[in-house]
Structure 1
């Protein structure tokens, strides 16, 4: 009976995690399904299990992660109360606390490393296929409009870069054919990001690729680097020459936006609006640096600055500031910025500490965790990634998954 229950639990947690990755882009809010199933399962297990004290006992690393999540939520809750905001501002961030009990659930029922590193590349492949269908068959102007194209483009890029890391794992473990298949999946995920026209997702890619190759540099033969470089270069050249997804148009548009903003010819552009929002935020932060303005407060302040001609009315119309670091600082003050940095630094420190080069599974998982944290930080420089439910779930849920996977591997070894 116990073995049957364990077998069902193993099947359930791995199926649920697989569903999450494979369903991100399928339809609106499909990314909610798997986390909801796992939260419900954790709750049921806590209620019915006689071993709940042992199962749901957090180690020091998990407690530190939990504290960072709690601190992040607490600063938002305090800001909402202090600035008389609306309680629905707490809806999305409050859900990240529900992810914490998922860690012991995944650890207890053995989240599979081998399933995880196969489902991620196939989700990148699926992301690319969906983007191609949406752009060239359905005629969408931007891929992933069902999940907000900037968010979707960033998530597709993450899946693509994850897959490059996973391809290095397979290559260094003598599975070269599958490594090449995974590399193709990686390029499809990156293509999906390009077809979304979300430029912010492209900024950090060179740095993250450089980090990944540096980590695996001693495990890879010298001839691998020309292969990878030529593959990626060919991909970039083809995309550039064919202007796939309008990538050249987007780059030229960004240059034009900057030129028009500097000359004050037109500040109501995509890039110009960001510059204006950041300028308004800098002015506001200097006035209320500690506790910030709150969501409504900064919106009203931008309206005031627009009337004074400091920023454009177009920039003043945005609810968030297209930079999570600035957005949290101007709304919640320096305390909010510190809390935001904590949810990056705490898991990053954990992943770096587990970067064991003598254990290929730990090396791969820790690298994935580092890539996840750093890429999300890059996204947040040009987008308020956590202002959307999809971004909250993608970042915080994957942190939980990588934490649990590392714990399972360490327990096994």
Structure 2
């Protein structure tokens, strides 16, 4: 019994940054700062309790680390020259060191099903805190609604994926169903159209593909659809208001008024393309604000668009600020994980593809790899999906 407790403590302390990404990171706004502390604690603990003889092999085998190293090196260079986000850099430094030293024996103890439940509990705590204790009843949450909706989208995908693979008479099935409902409600009330679009596209394609291949029963599919339909009906006012707002914004744009939510995005994209045309190689860092002000004075964009800090498009945002290197690193953030998932072909390869597509779609209307919470969550999640599960052909049991 004493040995079991000791091993449990060793595992928890060693996995502290990963556990934090599914809990504290999404509960309060300063959770992003505590992540670096958690990584430091785990790194020191691992260095004391585990041999470092496999360190070289781990660096060579974990090619995802190479992307983190590249981001860290570029981030440090950019931070000391023209600018780089301190939250992003802090995460890259922490993850680069932690994911390098954490041993394979610890990584293979990660249970994504348990982490999904932990994420569901943590997001539930966040929304209870927001609505019942702080009294916030709109999308103005203590953590920006767009990145929180993006993470809720990840919870929706995780729950949907595991529900398909879980017996309907188990407690875990009902827990997942509850979190599926809660994540759907959160996504709806966030009024985040980019996440709505992502979940809608993924849901239709994934579900139709599974029905076509008979990987999900019609009964279970109808239960899921009925549940989501009921939730949508109960939230009909929020959905109708957002649709009506979108129609009004499109009409305003057609009449020449670009000072709407969609119109401002179009102006930011236009400004970004102007800046990229002249600064594609190096980017301009925070100097982009001055350049946007100049574009505003020339009447190319409005003053309202010139004061916004990012471009609501990850590709434009990273290319404007960091040039061709930023663009290459961004593309590698999606292409490399897809390649690694394909080569590893583990139990959650398809899940990895879906989550990457989710982030890629949200990158079209937001900057999830710039925001501290969604940025850290993505890189942690990809590392788990890529390295914490043995390949299918090495499994003794096919249970998922």
Q: d(CA) in 1 for partners of 2:201 and 2:344? A: 21
Deviations 1:317-339 (A, max 9, x none): 01211111110112222332111
Aligned to 1:263: 255
Deviations 1:17-73 (A, max 9, x none): 444323333222225445632442223322x356212256316551x2122223334
Question: What secondary structure is seen at the aligned counterpart in 1 of 2:300?
Answer: coil
**Range that drifts further, 21-30 or 200-209:** 21-30
What's the CA shift for 1:147? 1.6
Selected match of 1:371 from 340, 344, 354? 354
Root-mean-square deviation (CA), in Å? 3.1
What's the CA shift for 1:405? 2.0
8 A contact 1:107–1:407 mirrored in 2? no
8 A contact 1:132–1:192 mirrored in 2? no
8 A contact 1:162–1:371 mirrored in 2? no
Question: TM-score, normalization: structure 2?
Answer: 0.85
CA distance 1:215–1:10, change in 2 (3 Å): farther
Q: d(CA) in 2 for partners of 1:391 and 1:262? A: 34
Aligned to 1:358: none
Q: d(CA) in 2 for partners of 1:292 and 1:187? A: 42
Q: d(CA) in 2 for partners of 1:391 and 1:133? A: 20
CA distance 1:27–1:408, change in 2 (3 Å): farther
Aligned residue pair count? 392
Aligned to 2:21: 20
- 1:230 matched to 2:226? The reply is yes
**Range that drifts further, 402-411 or 255-264:** 402-411
Question: What secondary structure is seen at the aligned counterpart in 1 of 2:27?
Answer: coil
8 A contact 1:143–1:192 mirrored in 2? no
Aligned to 2:106: 109
Aligned to 2:145: 149
What's the CA shift for 1:261? 2.2
Aligned to 2:385: 402
What's the CA shift for 1:79? 4.7
8 A contact 2:156–2:179 mirrored in 1? yes
8 A contact 1:125–1:189 mirrored in 2? no
Aligned to 1:313: 303
Aligned to 1:359: none
Q: d(CA) in 1 for partners of 2:107 and 2:65? A: 20
- 1:280 matched to 2:248? The reply is no
CA distance 1:283–1:262, change in 2 (3 Å): farther
Aligned to 1:253: 245
8 A contact 1:261–1:272 mirrored in 2? yes
Q: d(CA) in 2 for partners of 1:50 and 1:136? A: 44
What's the CA shift for 1:133? 5.6
CA distance 1:197–1:177, change in 2 (3 Å): same
Q: d(CA) in 2 for partners of 1:218 and 1:354? A: 25
Aligned to 1:66: 65
What's the CA shift for 1:403? 2.9
8 A contact 2:195–2:362 mirrored in 1? yes
CA distance 1:111–1:11, change in 2 (3 Å): farther
Question: What secondary structure is seen at the aligned counterpart in 1 of 2:248?
Answer: helix
Deviations 1:120-173 (A, max 9, x none): 1353255246436634674424357222222112112211221111212214xx
Q: d(CA) in 2 for partners of 1:38 and 1:409? A: 30
Aligned to 1:85: 82
Q: d(CA) in 2 for partners of 1:228 and 1:238? A: 16
Q: d(CA) in 1 for partners of 2:216 and 2:7? A: 38
Q: d(CA) in 2 for partners of 1:61 and 1:237? A: 49
**Gap runs ≥5 in structure 1:** 356-361
What's the CA shift for 1:5? 5.5
CA distance 1:56–1:239, change in 2 (3 Å): farther
**Gap runs ≥5 in structure 2:** none
